[in-house]
A and B are shown apart, each in its own frame.
Chain A
């Protein structure tokens, strides 16, 4: 039963990684860049939700919407100001800009909210825990909501990319930017929309993360961000189901590793597994091999 409980916790943590990983994977797939500031957008989203709940006393659902709206605008702004001018630059220049953006966001948060950790209000998710197997397995409301949110997001996002005009445009830009332009697709707008979606998801992830681990500070987003990036690579970067699978597996490995092998080595185990997977299958679990264009 303890194993089952650990497993559920792992899936829950993994669901948060998966939602963050979606942001990495979509942006990578479509804009062909690693947005290392993504983890910090999560942190900003959590702070906005924190302010909404704590200072402005808005209901949880509205707090969620405010955080999502703010992060959407933030994502579009970051892309437009920092990344768009570098569209023709080398990928190294873009990568360094993204790392710079990450530190900028962390330091802005430090300036605004200070270095002292904030205690994220538990009023965000007020769903009672459920007990299974006669009280032996208790699943908290936050865990339930997290897993459910992950599933819903995954279904919505998949049908969005498969069936909507914008979603199809994203797939075209992801495959061949020049050919997409020939179809009449505005590549810049499409990339902007990708950042908007990724950042809105980051806000959700931030709230879920801080509901499960309520210590909120300017560096809150960086470690989950790196792990979610790992999850995206693990699952096959660029692939939406890959991000889901990679995220959930990573969460499960982390929690089980901490529970049964060593608490201290939990993170090391996660990254060791990543290295092994990449050695065996360099494109990640669900990644497609890159075809050379002739």
Chain B
């Protein structure tokens, strides 16, 4: 069964037509990636799914239920979490507070064990527990942003450009974590400019081009596709 189904959504920023009828789906236990150039509408798509932007037309179905009119702050209780572009951690709060905010909708008794779980998964964060998040390095901030999103125990985890601005070794680490999450049973929707990495980790992929899906298919096949190689992989 498809966990997330997007049907022909159109999204506008004022007069700008950002998404021109995007449709795709994410099945349970899949890693699906949206790749595409800057400005293709990748982040717009995720922000629309999570309710920060509202589509002018089209449908967003989560576990078969239309969630078009559900406000962003209710999405996390439905079981989806977005680790946003640029991390957007709470810079002036401590690492631990950031994690606790990730569990905002859960009962207080569940938060402490989940924080410990995150510290086990991300030992670096444990070392920095009481540090103000704004003072973390880029890689640590990305891990914090992912851990914060995981604090809500999402069924669908959406990641927006998790590799952005990180050194290659950190990018490897981030993708290892994505694989681990997937193996632990989380469904993942990944938006990336780093098409090589994204396609190598994903099951299926969609290519976004100026607000439209221009190609889709098995991630490994797209990795071998000549057009994709030329446009996004630089060879």
Report chain B residues within 8 Å CB of A169: 101, 104
Contact A183 B101 (CB under 8 A): yes
Contact B77 A184 (CB under 8 A): yes
Query: Which residues, 78 to 122 on B, are CB-close (under 8 Å) to A?
Result: 81-82, 84, 86, 88-93, 97, 100-102, 104-105
Contact A175 B90 (CB under 8 A): yes
Complexed CA–CA distance, A179 and B52 (Å): 10
**B152 on interface, CB distance cutoff 8 Å:** yes
Contact B73 A184 (CB under 8 A): yes
Tally inter-chain residue pairs, CB-CB below 8 A: 71
Q: Of B81, B86, B92, B97, which contacts A182 at CB under 8 A? A: B81
Q: Of A171, A181, A186, A291, which contacts B90 at CB under 8 A? A: A171
Report chain B residues within 8 Å CB of A187: 73
Q: Which 3 A-B pairs have the closest CB atoms?
A: A184-B105, A184-B76, A181-B72
Contact A178 B52 (CB under 8 A): yes
Taking Cβ atoms with an 8 Å cutoff, the residues of B that contact A are 50-52, 71-77, 81-82, 84, 86, 88-93, 97, 100-102, 104-105, 134, 148-149, 152
Q: How far is the CB of A180 from chain B (nearest CB, A)?
A: 8
Report chain A residues within 8 Å CB of B52: 178, 181-182
Contact A184 B104 (CB under 8 A): yes
A interface size (C-beta, 8 A): 21
Complexed CA–CA distance, A178 and B75 (Å): 13
Q: Which residue of B lies closest to A174 (CB)?
A: B92
Take A168-B100, A172-B101 as given contacts and tell me if A182 and B90 are in contact as well, using a CB distance cutoff of 8 Å: no
Q: How far is the CB of A157 from chain B (nearest CB, A)?
A: 17
Report chain A residues within 8 Å CB of B86: 293-294
Report chain A residues within 8 Å CB of B72: 178, 181-182
Give 17 A-B pairs besides A288-B92, A293-B86 with Cβ atoms closer than 8 angstroms.
A168-B93, A171-B90, A171-B92, A172-B90, A172-B101, A175-B90, A179-B89, A179-B90, A182-B84, A183-B101, A183-B102, A183-B104, A184-B105, A185-B73, A185-B104, A186-B71, A291-B91
Contact B91 A175 (CB under 8 A): yes
Complexed CA–CA distance, A28 and B149 (Å): 28
Can you list 24 A-B contacts with CB-CB less than 8 angstroms, sorted by A residue number?
A168-B93, A168-B100, A168-B101, A171-B92, A172-B90, A172-B93, A175-B90, A175-B91, A178-B52, A178-B84, A180-B73, A181-B52, A182-B52, A182-B75, A183-B73, A183-B152, A184-B75, A184-B105, A185-B104, A186-B71, A187-B73, A288-B92, A291-B134, A294-B86
